Amino acid sequence: MTQALDHDVAGDWGVHQQATRLLESGAIQEGVRLLGDVADRTTDGLLRSMCTYNLGEVLESLGQIDEAYQTYYPLAHASPTTRNEFDHRARVRVMDIFSTRALRVTPPDFPPKVQIEITNRCNLRCVMCTRHQMQRPLGDLGWETFQRIADECSAETGCVLSLYFLGESLLHANFDQMVRYLERVRHRSPVPLVYGLQTNGTLLTRRRARVLLASGLREIGISLDGLSGDLERVRPGASYEVIERNVLGLLETAGEMGIDDLLVDICKLCDDPHSAEARRFVEHWQGKVRNVHLMHITKVEGLSYLGADGSIQPVGPKQHSPPRAYCGEGSRLLIHWNGDFAFCCSDIDGELKLGNIRDRSIREAWNSSEMEDLRGRMLAADYAGLSACLRCPHSYS
């Protein structure tokens, strides 16, 4: 009996190979049918996961993203103690897809992205930043809270940790130590935790860059909203010359240290990505860093922004109306410096009340009844009484 089973399993591995060849040759339907058959009948857990994962890949390649998500989902939620290589891979895909589809698909059991506020202090006074509207006290993330977050996220395959919210993280006295800690714990999961920093670049001297690179930081986003002259007006307190020197110094330092996997992303907010000003900016930075990207600025009532003609434009009073449809948020979890959970970046003061990490883990907050309730309300576009949503700049008409 055992022999017969072993033979079947060996045969099924052969069928998987046959399916792979068919898919490679473009015989998608036949390949998919064989994969499905093997996944349904095999007694070999690894083979079952592999076939199911491959089916998900095919669906993704055909642009059937929701179907691919549903195919990966059960693998991604296999028990952590028995998860195999393909279950882990499926989990990464689930986290990635949920990041873009958000509540349009069933949430995974852990947030794909956790964004932590290292500090809400800042050394700049950017004219467009919602930080000006923040009502809560200033403060820094404590070491114990940081460790709790780092430990929980590093145990979760596919979670990405972002080290910023409404302040400048490099102002935190222990930031370098936090990076060192993350580097130590990130390999606890078979798929190492990915983490990155978004910074205004003002404090990223060569010395600091060397320490951070030596500690393990490899993903750095620089918020640089204009070239010399423009930047100083849109980000008062900043000097373009200093930041450019810092970014070039960072790249050179990485070169000196033999680091070839550094990902530097320059991000510029703009009103019109086709303007001459935006084009000049991209031309200046393209080729120097791994990625330059333009992001649409959110115009916040009472604040200002850099217009396409280079002038600072005030944003006047707006007509507020509750969003008429699901806003698209809900794919990440934010944690303020004091440990309060927040639903999205418009939940500036944690008004949506998801509790504090002192009292519940990230997993508990993500799967809480409060979160479930919020998700239901977002999907139904029932924003009544949700003050943060009613004030959200995305809900302006």
Which of helix, strand or coil describes residue 49? Answer: helix
Q: Which two tokens stand for residue 323?
A: 């969003």
* Residue matched to tokens 């932590």: 116
- Residue 347 CA to residue 353 CA, distance in Å, equals 9
Q: Which two tokens stand for residue 385?
A: 């009484």
Closest residue to ligand SAM, based on beta-carbon distance: 223
Contacting range for ligand SAM; rule: CB under 6 A; set: 67-75, 140-148, 184-192, 295-303: 295-303
- Residue 171 CA to residue 200 CA, distance in Å, equals 11
Going by C-beta distance under 8 Å and a sequence separation of 6 or more, which residues neighbour residue 372? none
Return the H-helix or E-strand segment holding 8.
helix 2-24
- By rule CB under 6 A, what string of x and - marks binding of each residue 320-339 to ligand SAM? --------------------
Q: Which of residues 180-199 bind ligand SAM (CB under 6 A)?
A: 198-199
What is the 8-class DSSP label of residue 298?
P
128 binds ligand SAM (CB under 6 A): yes
202 binds ligand SAM (CB under 6 A): no
168 binds ligand SAM (CB under 6 A): yes
Q: 376-387: b or e for each residue (b if 16 or more CB lie within 10 Å)?
A: ebbeeeebeebe
CB of 162 to ligand SAM, least distance (A): 10
Chosen residue from 19, 103, 129, 149 binding ligand SAM by CB under 6 A? 129
Chosen residue from 39, 47, 243, 300 binding ligand SAM by CB under 6 A? 300
CB of 12 to ligand SAM, least distance (A): 50
51, 16 contact by CB (below 8 A): yes
Chosen residue from 52, 120, 200, 253 binding ligand SAM by CB under 6 A? 200
Angle (nearest 5°) at CA 311 between 310 and 316: 135
Contacting range for ligand SAM; rule: CB under 6 A; set: 34-42, 125-133, 246-254, 272-280: 125-133
Return the H-helix or E-strand segment holding 110.
none
Contacting range for ligand SAM; rule: CB under 6 A; set: 1-9, 66-74, 204-212, 293-301: 293-301
CB of 198 to ligand SAM, least distance (A): 4
Residues that bind ligand SAM (CB under 6 A): 122, 128-131, 164, 166, 168, 198-200, 223, 267, 269, 297-298, 300
